[in-house]
A and B are shown apart, each in its own frame.
Chain A
Amino acid sequence: MDSMSMQLQFLTPELVDRILDEAFQLLLEPGVQVQSPQAQALLASAGAQVDQASSVTRIPEAIVRHALATVPHDFDLYDQTGEPAVHYGGSQVHFDPGSSGVNMLDPETLEHYPAQTADLVRLIQVAESLPQYAAQSTAVVCNEVPKAIGDLYRLYLALLYSTKPVVTGAFAIPTTDTMFEMLALYAGGREALAQKPRAIFDICPTPPLIWSDFGASGLIALAQARVPAQIVSMPLAGAAGPVTLLGSVVQHAAETLSGITIHQLAGPGSPIVWGGAPAIFDMRHGTTPMGAIETALIDATYAQVGKSLGLPTHAYLGASDAKIVDAQAGLESGLTALIGAQAGINMISGAGMLDFLACQSAEKLVIDAEGIAMAQRLLAGIQVQTATLATELFTGIDFKADFLKQKITRQLFRKEQYLPSAVIERGSLREWQANGAQDAFARARIRVQELISSYQRPAVDPALERELQKMVASLAKSAGMAQLPPLDL
């Protein structure tokens, strides 16, 4: 192709080297607090210095470099039919809805209410219907379900209602293993799951420079199962991280490098992603704005560092801190999604999210999909579609505005233009008035209804589904829930 592609980069190669150099220095002084005995043992046997009393672990650069040498630079996530659907690596850009919200925006009352099963199903159905989302996420916590099975229950719903790969996670180790079993059931065994993973698991260090017992154990479990892991490091610039954006990028690198080291020591060659959800710290409210431009700057910058190491990347962008789906939500989500796309980040999570990732909205998900489509169109860039750029197209035009009549117009307009849904208003004023003078949110409400009413649940071997349901029902019972919430299957 003749078109130029432009990747957004904020760092000179020298600055990338300085970031990595200081990250390696941090891994020695002050070191990283590794609170998992198993991870400590792995690091110690590789030559790291572990102080048992404080859990402070000093990791020499050579050990990290050795780990980096075994990390795959590419891997795929597969859909339900076993086809590759998400490619981590290179400059491929994908989007998925933000994960683990606790609330849902009521499209009528605009209240944020605790999310339940019906809400997650709705979000999955909407994301399933929109090609802009390459993957599902386990988007909201279902509050009526016992906490002990909350994580696996969310994956269960994603498996029942979607064919797409799933970005997920767990808050306890035994749950992670159960989730591997659920995925293996659909994949045809644990080995088949490792060969064609359907899901990727988020794993978070605790800022600054801490791997909790749970976080480090999660890395080990994923590495051993060879199920993809996504490190989600989240320095908060000015609070749980240095105030400078670069300082926080160094911290991100140190946390992520130490995580990759633990992971590769436990399972060399297992797939892992250089990801994160950092934010600046709001100096008035003490909050963590995900829609801030500086948050996006940190993301694009750490992604460049990860790419310099040849690693697949992830970031949390395309979310807003607005409380309703208003102009702030639109501009923050659109701007940051565009920055992530231009930075070539492989998986960008966050769509649908409001209020510092606490609240999901199906209506925002359909509006965000339009912004994402525009970002994707921008990435596709300018392409040479015809033998001459224009001269041939002027044959027979004779100074008349008749290009609409040309066959080539009909042939190429779908390639040249992204054709938005009715969420984006491009009609005449009269037409808009005749349609009820609706704003974007009102149009999004209608679109959600339409998507849900035309949604069809994927066809899966009923025996498999019954087995999955039996498995989850029995886990629910042992967690004190006699009956799983009813589903409209």
Chain B
Amino acid sequence: MTQAILDGDPELAESLARQALESGLDPLEAINQGFVPGLDEVGAQFSTGEMFLPDLVLAAEAMKAAIAVLEPAMTQQGRTRQILGTVVIGTIEGDIHDIGKTLVATMLAASGFAVHDLGVNVPIKTFIETAQRVNADLIGASALLTTTMVKQRDLVDALEAAGLRSKIKVMVGGAPVTAEWVTEIGADGFSRDAIGAVQLAKTLVAKA
């Protein structure tokens, strides 16, 4: 199972997940002992420069394929996989840059977050309404342009105005984003890459 993730092979991961169920293995154990170590290893190898973005994305896709098989079985048994947190993510209004945001969403989902990806050009209102509806712990807002990055501030302000700021953490991302910007707009953090974003998300929901 670990190898299926390391190899980024969704078909293999899916069939191994089915085999696990057929042979009566505990689905939660299959996830945590079988597949998750693979994803951790991919993350580690990405950080050391041995693996690259396609390795990361395909590992996450393999993880999703395995979970898609194992999760319904757990639900049938009346158990649920522990969700690390609920994240609403999107590229902010006026910006249509998709790639970085989608990568973060994929990695968060593979790492055990419930992720609601709103896509690109997302109005602040939509961020907030969705976050309320799904009872989100965290909002991730991406902006690749200096001209759209300013909307990240508007998002934080709008959450404040809606009285939700204490409940919902905000992480921001995108090429122009810096630590100073995070402080200036009162967001909770940012990351340079998708692996860092997962770490950040874990830290932020743990604090909450």
Q: Which residues in A have some Cβ–Cβ distance to B below 8 Å? A: 102, 114, 147, 206, 236, 238-240, 243, 281, 283-287, 358
Contacts and interface: CB of A to CB of B under 8 A. Distances in A.
B99 A286 contact: yes
B24 to A, nearest CB: 40
A414 B145 CA distance: 46
25 contacts: A102-B145, A102-B147, A114-B146, A147-B147, A206-B96, A236-B99, A238-B54, A239-B99, A240-B98, A240-B99, A243-B54, A281-B53, A283-B52, A283-B53, A284-B52, A284-B53, A285-B193, A286-B53, A286-B99, A286-B100, A286-B103, A286-B193, A286-B194, A287-B175, A358-B175
A112 to B, nearest CB: 10
Contacts of B99: 236, 239-240, 281, 286
Contacts of B194: 286
B163 interface: no
Pick the most buried of B175, B193, B194: most chain A CB atoms within 10 A of its CB: B175
B49 interface: yes
A243 B49 CA distance: 20
B27 to A, nearest CB: 33
Contacts of B193: 285-286
A170 to B, nearest CB: 15
B204 to A, nearest CB: 22
Contacts of B100: 286
Contacts of A281: 53, 99
Given A236-B99, A240-B98, A284-B53, 8 more contacts: A102-B145, A102-B146, A102-B147, A114-B146, A238-B54, A240-B99, A281-B99, A285-B193
Nearest to B103: A286
Closest 10 CB pairs of A and B: A283-B52, A283-B53, A239-B99, A102-B146, A286-B100, A284-B52, A286-B53, A283-B54, A286-B99, A286-B103
Given A102-B146, A147-B147, A238-B54, A284 B49 contact: yes
Interface of B: 49, 52-54, 96, 98-100, 103, 145-147, 175, 193-194
Contacts of A206: 96
Contacts of B54: 238, 243, 283
A147 B103 CA distance: 30
A279 to B, nearest CB: 12
Q: Is the interface of A mostly helix, strand, loop or mixed?
A: loop
Nearest to B98: A240
A287 B176 CA distance: 13
A411 to B, nearest CB: 54
A287 B96 CA distance: 15
Contacts of A236: 99
A359 to B, nearest CB: 11
A284 B193 CA distance: 9
A239 B54 CA distance: 9
Contacts of A238: 54
Nearest to B145: A102
A46 to B, nearest CB: 28
A283 B193 CA distance: 12
A290 B118 CA distance: 30
Nearest to A239: B99
Contacts of A240: 98-99
Contacts of A102: 145-147
A243 B53 CA distance: 12
A313 to B, nearest CB: 27
Nearest to B49: A284
A114 B194 CA distance: 27
A147 B150 CA distance: 13
A281 B145 CA distance: 18
Nearest to A236: B99
Contacts of A239: 99
A287 B49 CA distance: 15
B195 to A, nearest CB: 11
Nearest to B96: A206
A284 B100 CA distance: 12
A168 B208 CA distance: 49
Contacts of B175: 287, 358
Nearest to B194: A286
A489 B148 CA distance: 33
A348 B99 CA distance: 27
Contacts of A287: 175
A309 B146 CA distance: 39
Contacts of B96: 206
Contacts of B146: 102, 114
A341 to B, nearest CB: 30
Nearest to B56: A283
Contacts of A286: 53, 99-100, 103, 193-194
Contacts of A284: 49, 52-53
A302 B146 CA distance: 31
Nearest to A282: B53
Nearest to A240: B99
Contacts of B98: 240
A142 to B, nearest CB: 12
Nearest to B53: A283
Pick the most buried of B103, B145, B147: most chain A CB atoms within 10 A of its CB: B147
Nearest to B52: A283
Nearest to B146: A102
A304 B52 CA distance: 31
B32 to A, nearest CB: 29
Nearest to A238: B54
B103 to A, nearest CB: 7
Contacts of B52: 283-284
Pick the most buried of A239, A285, A287: most chain B CB atoms within 10 A of its CB: A239
Contacts of B53: 281, 283-284, 286
A283 B53 CA distance: 5
